Amino acid sequence: MTQDAKIKYAAVGCGGMGRRHLRGFGALHHSSMANMQLVAAVDTNLEAAQFYASEAHDLYGIEVRAFASVAEMKAGMPDVQAVDVTTDTGSHHRAVLACLEQDLHVLCEKPLAITTGACDLLLAEASRRHRVLSVAENFRRDPINRLIRALIDDGAIGEPRLMIETTIGGADRIVITPWRHMKHTGAITLDEGVHHADMLRYYLGEVATVYGETRLHEKVRHNTRSSGPGGFYARYVNSFPDTIEPTGEDAIYAHLRFERGTVAHWVNDHAGHGRGQSGRFVYGSKGSIDSPGDRNGKPVTLHLTGHDPISGAEILQYAPSYRLEPLAAELFGGERVWTYEFEFNATDAKIMALELFELGECIRTGATPEVSGEEGRRDVALTYAAFESGRLGRPVTLDELLQASHGPAYEYQAEIDRQIGLL
Ligand SMILES: NC(=O)c1ccc[n+]([C@@H]2O[C@H](COP(=O)([O-])OP(=O)(O)OC[C@H]3O[C@@H](n4cnc5c(N)ncnc54)[C@H](O)[C@@H]3O)[C@@H](O)[C@H]2O)c1
């Protein structure tokens, strides 16, 4: 594609994840299917936008203009058609709305917004203006998760009966940034938990009911000066306080029933001391699947009754429908990749390239993105289901959660909406 035919876009939010998305642009830029051109960087902290622009120049030799607001950017560069929003979670509803109001198509980092009510604002505006609203939910785009989904759909383990989704760790450390521990800016259980809500739904379809509880275990957290995923936060950690007093819950414990009848046990505990755990297992009427986790490229293991565990290339026989889309096949080395070996940052960038590419294709063809605004909203609703169930002391249905403030299960989220001025 010629440079002129590419869709010009701006990065909005130039912190840790924004800089990871810049590497995603790089992976797309160097592929044979580059369809997006980064031309601007916007951050309310202009220094962050300028640093991002200088990194873009150093890494890819491109000219990126820095701005402190989307309105200034659009006024100065009217041919920009799209934005890639990676502002902190609690600001998504404001940042994305500002972009939609400028008639820009949007790719927004997960979670789409801090409550389902905040998501509704964005869905309504995107629909009114006929703009693409896509959510950057990266775990499901890992080829290994595509393979697992095909194994389930193709009946490799028979009828799924149980999924166990577990994340335990974190102790009393500040996880990545202080804002991830505050209820009104996107607590870690929303910020990280929403990935797992998406994986549960991606593997097994829609959830019917949730019974759960949440906790705020750690009342004080400490800055361990960790450089965070991919090392991108080293630049910021010295500006964080030594200790913080969290207001947002750090653990979800939930029992789910899917519409298809499968149940799931979901633990998302970021206050775990002792032995950390991270596991994802699906059990069915003929066998089980062990996921190796996300973005590490390790093989999946299939256990079938009466067979030795299967984790080599022969696993592909059990997933005949498995095919990666063309750009994923190019970036990961084949249509039916069952394992890969790349550094974390390289894998991360390839997956983000897929998200950016899809945005460009949706703008060009009018197609709906895989994780549309509505899908992203459902992930937020599922994440909050255990919060609302715990408040009400009863199971809640996902339908109740999807009714947002009009429904009977919106106590916890209503408190956030009041605090941020939406109710
Ligand atoms: N998918 C993943 O694997 C993954 C990983 C990390 C973060 N994330 C998501 O990315 C988002 C950003 O996280 P982060 O760790 O980079 O946060 P961060 O705090 O490092 O960076 C956020 C940046 O946004 C800027 N900002 C805030 N409001 C803005 C606005 N209205 N307009 C423009 N800029 C604004 C801030 O100044 C800051 O530079 C979060 O939603 C988070 O959930 C996703």
Q: Report the 3 state secondary structure along the chain.
A: CCHHHCEEEEEECCCHHHHHHHHHHHHHHCCCCCCEEEEEEECCCHHHHHHHHHHHHHHHCCCCEEECCHHHHHHHCCCCCEEEECCCHHHHHHHHHHHHCCCCEEEEECCCCCCHHHHHHHHHHHHHHCCCEEEECCHHHCHHHHHHHHHHHCCCCCCEEEEEEEEEEECCECCCCHHHHCHHHCCHHHHCHHHHHHHHHHHHCCEEEEEEEEECCCCCEECCCCCCHHHCCCCCHHHCCCEECCCCCCEEEEEEEECCCCEEEEEEEEEECCCCEEEEEEEECCEEEECCCCCCCCCCEEEECCCCCECCHHHHHHCCCCCCCHHHHHHHCCCCCCCCCCCHHHHHHHHHHHHHHHHHHHHHHCCCCCCEHHHHHHHHHHHHHHHHHHHHCCCEEHHHHHCHHHCCCCHHHHHHHHHCCCC
For residue 386, what pLDDT band results from cuts at 50, 70 and 90?
very high
Q: Is the CB of 95 under 6 A from ligand 1?
A: yes
Q: Please calculate the CA angle 78-84-88 and round it to the nearest 5 degrees.
A: 125
- pLDDT (average), residues 221-239: 94
CA of 307 to the centre of ligand 1 (A): 46
| The last residue of a domain, from among 322, 354, 370 | 370
Token pair for 398: 């996902």
| Top mutation candidate among 19, 22, 43, 72 for ligand 1, by most atoms within 8 Å of CB | 43
Judge whether 255 lies within some domain. Answer: yes
For residue 371, what pLDDT band results from cuts at 50, 70 and 90?
very high
- pLDDT value of position 1: 84
Residue 28 and residue 45 in one domain: yes
Residue 145 and residue 132 in one domain: no
The set of residues, in sequence order, having a beta carbon less than 8 Å from that of 5 and lying 6+ positions away, is none
Q: Is the CB of 235 under 6 A from ligand 1?
A: no
Q: Is the CB of 379 under 6 A from ligand 1?
A: no
Residue 204 and residue 324 in one domain: yes
- Convert the pLDDT of each residue in 180-223 to its tens digit: 999 999 999 999 999 999 999 999 999 999 999 999 999 999 99
Statement: the pTM of the whole predicted model exceeds 0.95? yes
Residue 186 and residue 251 in one domain: yes
| Top mutation candidate among 12, 14, 17 for ligand 1, by most atoms within 8 Å of CB | 17
Rounded-to-integer distance, Cα 73 and Cα 83, Å: 11
Residue 145 and residue 91 in one domain: no
CA of 43 to the centre of ligand 1 (A): 10
Q: What is the CATH number of the domain that holds 328?
A: 3.30.360.10
For residue 3, what pLDDT band results from cuts at 50, 70 and 90?
confident
- pLDDT value of position 2: 86
Residue 166 and residue 301 in one domain: yes
Range of the domain at 195: 141-339
| The last residue of a domain, from among 299, 322, 339 | 339
Q: What proportion of the chain, given as a percentage, has pLDDT over 70?
A: 100
- pLDDT (average), residues 2-14: 95
Judge whether 77 lies within some domain. Answer: yes
Residue 78 and residue 201 in one domain: no
Token pair for 133: 């609203």
- pLDDT (average), residues 157-171: 98
Residue 196 and residue 181 in one domain: yes
- pLDDT value of position 12: 99
Q: Total domain count for the chain?
A: 2
Q: What proportion of the chain, given as a percentage, has pLDDT over 90?
A: 99
Q: What are phi and psi of 9, to 5 degrees?
A: -140, 160
CA of 295 to the centre of ligand 1 (A): 20
Residue 130 and residue 155 in one domain: no
Q: What is the CATH number of the domain that holds 78?
A: 3.40.50.720
Q: Is the CB of 110 under 6 A from ligand 1?
A: yes
- pLDDT (average), residues 72-96: 98
| 245: pLDDT strictly greater than 90 | yes
Residue 187 and residue 96 in one domain: no
Judge whether 344 lies within some domain. Answer: no
- pLDDT value of position 119: 98
Rounded-to-integer distance, Cα 332 and Cα 325, Å: 11
Q: Is the CB of 371 under 6 A from ligand 1?
A: no
* Other Cβ atoms within 10 Å of 129 Cβ, number: 14
Among protein residues, the one with the nearest Cα to ligand 1's atom 41 is: 89
- Convert the pLDDT of each residue in 32-58 to its tens digit: 999 999 999 999 999 999 999 999 999
Higher per-residue confidence, 27 vs 3:
27
Judge whether 357 lies within some domain. Answer: no
For residue 4, what pLDDT band results from cuts at 50, 70 and 90?
confident
- pLDDT (average), residues 306-315: 97
Residue 239 and residue 215 in one domain: yes
* Other Cβ atoms within 10 Å of 23 Cβ, number: 21
Q: What are phi and psi of 403, to 5 degrees?
A: -75, -5
Residue 131 and residue 222 in one domain: no
